[in-house]
Structure 1
Amino acid sequence: MGGRVTDTVTSVSAVVAQLRDSQRRWAALPVSDRTRWLSEYRDWLWDNQSRLERLLMQETGKPPAEAGLEVPYVIEAINYHSKRAPRLLAERRPSPHGLLAITKRQLIVQRPYPVVGVITPWNFPVGLSLLDAVPALLAGCAVVVKPSELAPSAVSAAVDGWAAIGAPPVLDVVCGDGRHGAAVAATVDFIQFTGSARTGRAIARVAAERLVPCALELGGKDAMIVLDDADVPRAANAAVWGAMANYGQMCVSVERVYVESAVYDEFVARVVAEAGRLRTGIDMGGFTNRAQGEVVRRHRDDAIARGATELIGHGEGPTVLTDTDHNMLCMTEETFGPLLPIVRVDDEDEAVRLANDSRYGLSAVVFSGDARRAERIARRIDAGAVNINDVFANLFTLALPQAGWKESGLGSRGGSDAILKFCRPQAIVAARVAPARELTWYPYTPLRRAIMRRVSRLIGARGLRRRFA
């Protein structure tokens, strides 16, 4: 345990092989035993919360308030999924669909994928690693986590807690660069990846070549729409938090805002005032990946060169831009930093059209004082989730799917899929009666064919004329 990987292929393969061997015994345990181990692990996470938070702050530069979100988020996932796992994983006996199936006993069992590889980025290293590992463990899988090389320590420490409680050896971590991630993808039975669209495509190609399933949570370019009947102070506060939280390094960050003219001036003024009050080290940290700062500067410089106005920022820190349009990089490419471009629109139709003018579709935000109007707008937005009069709310609703559309990903987290996606449903069919030969078996005879034709019409046809023709 602890991510002690020094050789890319050999060591990763050895870790996965060990997990695969242990997984058989883990999957054979009753679900209640697996939930018991997750409960003990939850208690260990509480007991070690402060230490994990310190590691997160050291590695990522998060302020204390944001570092403090990751462990409670994982614990909430443990509590939620542990409660649902027994029902979701229970064997089911469907009712026969008709006369052809009435002589068969039908059973559906959920068989876990042996080893799941969870490959995660540096922006929420502990939260994203364990958010996927927890339901996979409950499903009966073994899990290997490959954290970003920029933030391995906190994840390794969190995974070490599994061994510390004496749990079966079905959770491990391998640390290293992209070669180690590639080795994980090349050896596991299910790949769960969170990161950029570019790397996601590479993961998908590996999965396709190996014919193993993958789930991809990729980038976003989330839009916020502020309608003329919105609560402007709340909308402005939401926009600043949505754009600047975690220094804008979130796949669901608000990266573009479309505001109806009637409230545009007030909204912009409030956003500038709120952004100007942010405190370094308390409200905001910094870039975990220094290269991301270059992306933000490039987007900012491109926008100004094309006519945008910088109201706050001036080349560093939280930046608010106006007079922006879709000819600018900051409106079309994922920025992943504390930059907020605002666009004035004439009406809601223009706002929806521009919000959908993106190759991404992760989530979006709509602010309106009219609940029906807001929901009507939400149903027109091409994104996997839409928050109304709120921001990031879908991240904390574990009962709902979290799915990216378009280039924002494949598959989903949350809801029933959180556990069941790590399982293969197996159908088991048994004969209730067992004559020497079935009516459909050899030898074929005119009489048997006539009986089958008559039976199939009686079952499948509608209307007396067709049934008895």
Structure 2
Amino acid sequence: MTTGTDRAVHGIEDIRAAVARARSAGGAWTASGWRERRAALLLWKRELAGRADEFAEVIAAETGKPVQDARSEVLLTLVHLDWAARNARRVLGRRRVSSGLLSIHQRALLAYRPLGVIGVIGPWNYPLYTPMGSIGYALAAGNAVVFKPSELTPGVGLLLARSFGEAVPGHADLLQAVTGPGSTGAALAGADGPAGVDKVAFTGSPGTARKVAAACAATLTPLLAECGGKDAVLVAADADLDAAADAIVWGAMGNAGQTCAGVERVYAVASVHEELCSRIVSRARALAPGDAYGPLTLPSQLGVVERHVKQALVDGGTARLGGPDALRASVLGPVVLSDVPEDSPAVTEETFGPVVVVNRVRDMDEAVERANASAYSLGAAVFTRSRAAGLAVAGRLGSGAVSVNSVLGFAAIPSLPFGGAGESGYGRIHGEEGLRAFAAPHSVTVRRFAPVVDLTSFSTPREKVARAVELGRKLHARF
């Protein structure tokens, strides 16, 4: 199987040609209407489901993750594509909205039109699920897509584009993949001059997002950026500690910790901190690296993980499990740290490895304060036996999504939007907001009858206009 550097490197002229083909195909796609687009996307979904093993094998080969994890990624992709296809018309189709008393003589209509061609720049950690949160929703909204997968996972992108053409042969150019290093993504965003896309959806590091944003700014091309997280789990004194520990270990160690909304910080109320640490360590120690999760996909990430762990210990933290020695195997062993100062890199920076910091807090107020102190604001979780308390704490967290008594519960619910702020980026994928992210609102008014006082005509006597305006002012002054 050819991967990585065996793929072609596409430059700006290749990208412009792909965008031109996509735009041509997009015209027919838009004109085909909601019903046909839904049918086509559901055909593609069935094609993907029938080829799940093939996709899982390519994902596993390029990322190193276990095949069972790759199969779960395919399933999540299917769930989101199905929702986008079935709900696009409801969310984006023309509907009547209130005209208000002043414009009661007008019928007000709102619809959403596709933007045109969407450039999607995908990551390597979830090379199918994550970019499809943009690709599937953009297609459902009536757009064409040019997809640049990570240079570490080009095979997934090429297979995805090919599968669409095979499932929906009449629209083969609607989804195209271009491959290459970061320079290819930069060209798609417009760093080498206008590439012709109407919006860019990017997933990656905050540093790279800034470069993409700068390239998009030159042509005022809108950008949707999902840039990672430093997600926190807050554990109350009354929490089910077994459930919390189980979820924390899965959220922190799954995919070798290479999950943008994975668990990297835990804030546990002091009265349960020791017991929670013990249960987390017990579960993490039972994991078999290489079976439970695979290696780091990006070799250079090892340096970041090592720096965070070593500095945490220098700063006074404690290694409850693992430590620097756990980072010397081909597949890193799990590392559980506690009592790490809040200004240590293991707390402030995205680690993206199988490492979790479990710190004690006075109470849930302090837990919320510390969770919100991060520059990232993607996801979070709260564990408590009180549903009301869990919802109250969730409402105080600044993250874009919160799970109560689970981690990453929002990832498998396609009706919920996903995204953050700050270093986590901006914009939303998934759900109704995800569909609207790839469409432009289109407002239409239809005059139903002549108003009693026409405020948009010079033929209306000024005195009559003045009386009508004064009446309106008095009404608003009272209510």
What is the TM-score when the length of structure 2 is the normalising length? 0.91
Summarize the alignment of residues 27-426 of structure 1 with structure 2, pairs less than 5 Å apart: 27-99=30-102, 101-165=103-167, 166-168=169-171, 169-186=173-190, 187=195, 188-315=197-324, 316=327, 317-426=333-442
Task: Tell me the CA shift for residue 392 of structure 1.
Answer: 0.7
* 1:157-207 CA-partner distances (Å, limit 9, x unpaired): 122101112141211111111111111112210111111111112222233
SS at match of 2:128: helix
- Per the alignment, residue 330 of structure 2 pairs with none
CA distance in 2, matches of 1:7, 1:231: 52
Q: Which amino acid aligns with 1:257?
A: V
2:464 maps to 1:451:
yes
Which one-letter code corresponds to 1:16 in the other structure? V
* 1:7 Cα offset (Å): 4.0
Amino acid across the alignment from 2:261: V
Deviations 1:24-59 (A, max 9, x none): 111011111001111110111112111111111111
Q: Match of 1:418, as an amino acid? A: G
CA contact (8 A) 1:37 1:167 kept: no
The SS at the match of 1:207 is: helix
Q: Does residue 25 in structure 1 map to residue 28 in structure 2?
A: yes
Q: What is the root-mean-square deviation in Å for CA atoms of aligned residues?
A: 2.2
C-alpha distance in structure 2 between counterparts of 1:137 and 1:440, whole Å: 40
CA distance in 2, matches of 1:171, 1:358: 37
SS in 2 for 1:255: strand
Shift of 1:458: 2.8
1:69-90 C-alpha deviation (Å, 9 max, x unpaired): 1211111112212221121222
1-side partners of 2:343 and 2:108: how far apart?
58
Does the 8 Å CA contact 1:311/1:322 hold for their aligned counterparts? yes
Q: Which moved more, 1:3-12 or 1:237-246?
A: 3-12
In the TM superposition, residue 356 of structure 1 has moved relative to its aligned partner by 1.4
Which letter maps to 2:442?
Answer: Q
Q: Which runs of 5+ in 2 are unaligned?
A: 328-332
**Distance in 1 separating the partners of 2:237 and 2:250:** 21
**CA deviation map 1:230-251 (0-9, x unaligned):** 1011111111111001100011
Unaligned runs of 5+ in 1: none
Whole-Å separation in 2 of the counterparts to 1:57 and 1:161: 18
SS in 1 for 2:306: helix
* Aligned partner letter, 2:430: G
Shift of residue 4, structure 1, vs aligned partner: 7.3
Percent same amino acid among aligned pairs?
Answer: 37
Q: 1:274 to 1:426 in 2, by over 3 A?
A: same
Quote how far apart the aligned CAs of 1:439 are. Answer: 6.0
Residue type of the partner of 1:262? S
2:429 and 2:118 map into 1 onto residues whose CA distance is: 14
- Which TM-score applies when normalising by structure 1? 0.93
CA displacement, residues 403-427 of structure 1 (integer Å, 9 cap, x when unaligned): 2022211111222112122111112
Once the two structures are superposed, what CA deviation does each residue of 1:71-111 show, in whole Å capped at 9, x if it has no partner? Answer: 11111112212221121222123342124x23334332321
Helix, strand or coil: the match of 1:69?
Answer: helix
Q: Shift of residue 280 of structure 1? A: 2.4
Structure 2 counterpart SS, 1:403 = coil
Change in Cα spacing, 1:142 to 1:308, as seen in structure 2 (3 Å) is: same
**Partner Cα separation in structure 2 for residue 152 and residue 98 of structure 1:** 56
For residue 433 of structure 1, report the CA deviation from its aligned partner.
5.4
Question: Are the counterparts in 2 of residues 13 and 183 from structure 1 also a CA contact under 8 Å?
Answer: no
Q: Is the 8 A contact 2:202 2:225 kept in 1?
A: yes
Q: Which moved more, 1:146-155 or 1:369-378?
A: 369-378
Single out whichever of 302-311 and 288-297 deviates more from structure 2: 302-311
Question: In 2, distance between residues paired with 1:314 and 1:462?
Answer: 69
Letter in 1 for 2:128: V
Q: Distance in 2 between matches of 1:341 and 1:167?
A: 51
SS at match of 2:97: coil
The one-letter amino acid of 2:467's match is R
CA distance in 2, matches of 1:383, 1:414: 16
Displacement after TM superposition at 1:144 (Å): 0.9
Query: Shift of the alpha carbon at 1:254?
Result: 0.7
2: distance between equivalents of 1:292 and 1:6? 24
Q: Is the 8 A contact 1:366 1:387 kept in 2?
A: yes
Q: CA deviation at 1:381?
A: 1.5
TM-superposed deviation, 1:149? 0.2
Q: Which residue of 2 aligns with 1:462?
A: 475
**Does the Cα contact within 8 Å between 1:440 and 1:448 map onto a contact in 2?**
no
Distance 1:108 1:45 in 2: 34
Q: CA deviation at 1:429?
A: 2.9
Residue 380 of structure 1: how far off its partner (Å): 1.7
Task: Indicate conservation of the 8 Å contact 1:222/1:361, yes or no.
Answer: yes
Of 255-264 and 5-14, deviating more is: 5-14
Counterpart CA distance in 2 for 1:155 and 1:455 is: 61
CA contact (8 A) 2:7 2:154 kept: no
SS in 1 for 2:396: coil
Alignment partner of 2:68: what SS? helix
